[in-house]
Structure 1
Amino acid sequence: MSSLARFLFALGAAVAAASLLAASLRRRRALPSDLPAQLVPSSHMAGRNRSFILWLHGLGDSGPANEPIRTFFSASEFRLTKWAFPSAPHPPVSCNHGAVMPSWFDIHELPLSAGSPQDDSGVLKAVENVHAMINKEVVDGVHPENIFVCGFSQGGALTLASVLLYPKTLGGGAVFSGWVPFGSSVVERISPEARKTPILWSHGMADRTILFEAGQAGPPFLQSVGVSCEFKAYPDLGHSISKEELQVLESWIKSRLKASQGKDN
């Protein structure tokens, strides 16, 4: 078995294990108003051709388990890319009847549909932490439009919230098997600059954990708030990430890195 095949098998197994755990157990604060609108990088010009990719894992997973994803990004455009794979805290999770496990915010039920209840306050608290990671890179000299946030499942939902609620335009947000994790009351917090950040949304039509209908609800929501979204459906894909999705992601980010760097030059 090739290293690529081993990685995809391991990644799929990890995701499946988290989903099975939730299923088996089921059987038996506002954003701060003082987020900086403008940050002054310490080495602004040096950061023009650097980039930052933040990857947010799913429920029950960990950051280090996802680090092999970076091996898919071998093009020269990524030679100055910094990656971050943080791990979620370990709170009790409602869909697992209060079991403690890695989770960015609470999930009330699985499978999750377009009408499932949301944990708005938990999402907003998690967004603060993601914004702190982004702000650190901007201060360090990375241009905001060379920053990309990506995530799978719960991490995909947090990706969407973090990108939409960040006060500046970022390079993009990539949502894999995610959902819109907040209600309409949060929409008014989306700034005009954030509405310029493009979204790539990928979802398996055979997903039995985050139902395809939850993914399908994403593009109409984004269109209603003026955000560009490229939606890709994968007919035979369950709750997992495929090699094809990662290849599309590499191309999608690469094209935007070129555009951003060319604009800076």
Structure 2
Amino acid sequence: MEEERPPAAGSGGFVVWLHGLGDCGRANEVIANHFSAAAFSDARWAFPTAPTAPVTCNRGMRMPSWFDIHDTPITSKSVRDEEDVLRAVQIVHTMIDREIAAGKDPGDVFVFGLSQGGALSIASVLLYPKALGGGAVFSGFLPFDSSSSSSFAARVTDEAKKTPVLWIHGGADSLIPVQEGRDGVKFLRGLGMSCEFKEYDRLGHTLEPYELEHCERWASEIALGEGKHEHGRQGPGEKKGGRQGTATATGTGTGSKSKLFCGVFNLFSK
């Protein structure tokens, strides 16, 4: 399931990338090439693959899935088994624990994820007992109902609330509506967490290089201890500081920086 080398102590950071439904870790390895800043020059990346399991919204089809999803469009209410989510969280926490045991500082650990993987990334950050370097959600959602999440919120430690979060979502996302991103950010800020929200008006349910470029700048500032996420340039049509995106959900990631898409989202049954 996990496609990575054994942990090793060192000055570099550790980044976990969590793929979307139906995808696999190996197909996402090209993403590491988009993080060439000095702060990530020695970072070690892990690209685990989710267990294969039936997915309700896909008529029970078996595929790599971190947890079950019951219906589409996907919202926080599409996930109905909290234990299913917690089992996936434990997979991520075990990876992080191994790195820290090998000498990695928790502040040098980042958890990023796309779509279902983004949902798992935020759950993993919230439930880890220590403050991590950061977490990033690309076109994701909260894998629990935030309107009745008092029990989940109670599990978030004061240390975990110190972990900064970046949430990127497309306004043209028909699979996971942008409102899920807005609601997720509202929930995190309600916990007192630092959460930057980037909304791209015409971006659909896809991953574009400019999203990763923004994440690299954001994460680099954290890794370098600058702490402030001021990114200057603003392009035409950009919303909340982001460049305009286009929605083209076809194929999986390749080495090209002109287009990057990871996740087999066309598996979803309507």
| TM-score, scaled relative to structure 1 | 0.78
* Deviation by residue 1:137-171 (Cα, 9 ceiling, x = unmatched): 11111110010000000000000000000000000
In 2, distance between residues paired with 1:160 and 1:114?
A: 12
- The within-5 A match list for 1:155-234 is 155-183=117-145, 184=149, 185-234=151-200
Query: Which consecutive residues of structure 1, in runs of 5 or more, have no partner in the other structure?
Result: 1-41, 261-265
1:81 paired residue number: 43
What percentage of residue pairs aligned between the two structures are identical?
Answer: 52
In 1, distance between residues paired with 2:63 and 2:76?
A: 24
Secondary structure of 1:71's aligned partner: helix
Q: Tell me if the contact between 1:114 and 1:217 (Cα under 8 Å) persists in the aligned partners.
A: no
1:118 paired residue number: 80
1:241 and 2:207 matched = yes
In 1, distance between residues paired with 2:79 and 2:42?
A: 40
* Deviation by residue 1:33-70 (Cα, 9 ceiling, x = unmatched): xxxxxxxxx99xx64x3200000000001100000001
Q: Tell me if the contact between 2:76 and 2:143 (Cα under 8 Å) persists in the aligned partners.
A: no
1:51 paired residue number: 13
Secondary structure of 1:259's aligned partner: coil
* Deviation by residue 1:8-48 (Cα, 9 ceiling, x = unmatched): xxxxxxxxxxxxxxxxxxxxxxxxxxxxxxxxxx99xx64x
Q: Tell me if the contact between 1:114 and 1:213 (Cα under 8 Å) persists in the aligned partners.
A: no
In 2, distance between residues paired with 1:180 and 1:119?
A: 13
1:93 paired residue number: 55
1:135 and 2:91 matched = no
Q: Tell me if the contact between 1:198 and 1:229 (Cα under 8 Å) persists in the aligned partners.
A: yes
How many correspondences in the alignment? 216
Q: Tell me if the contact between 1:156 and 1:174 (Cα under 8 Å) persists in the aligned partners.
A: yes
1:106 and 2:72 matched = no
Q: Tell me if the contact between 2:139 and 2:170 (Cα under 8 Å) persists in the aligned partners.
A: yes
| TM-score, scaled relative to structure 2 | 0.77
1:250 paired residue number: 216
1:65 paired residue number: 27
Letter in 2 for 1:208: S
Q: Tell me if the contact between 2:76 and 2:144 (Cα under 8 Å) persists in the aligned partners.
A: no
* Deviation by residue 1:182-229 (Cα, 9 ceiling, x = unmatched): 241211110000000010000011001111111111111111111111
Letter in 2 for 1:64: R
RMSD: 1.6
1:146 paired residue number: 108
Q: Cα–Cα, structure 1 residues 117 and 54, in superposed 2: closer, same or farther, change >3 Å?
A: closer
Letter in 2 for 1:99: M
Q: Tell me if the contact between 2:185 and 2:195 (Cα under 8 Å) persists in the aligned partners.
A: yes
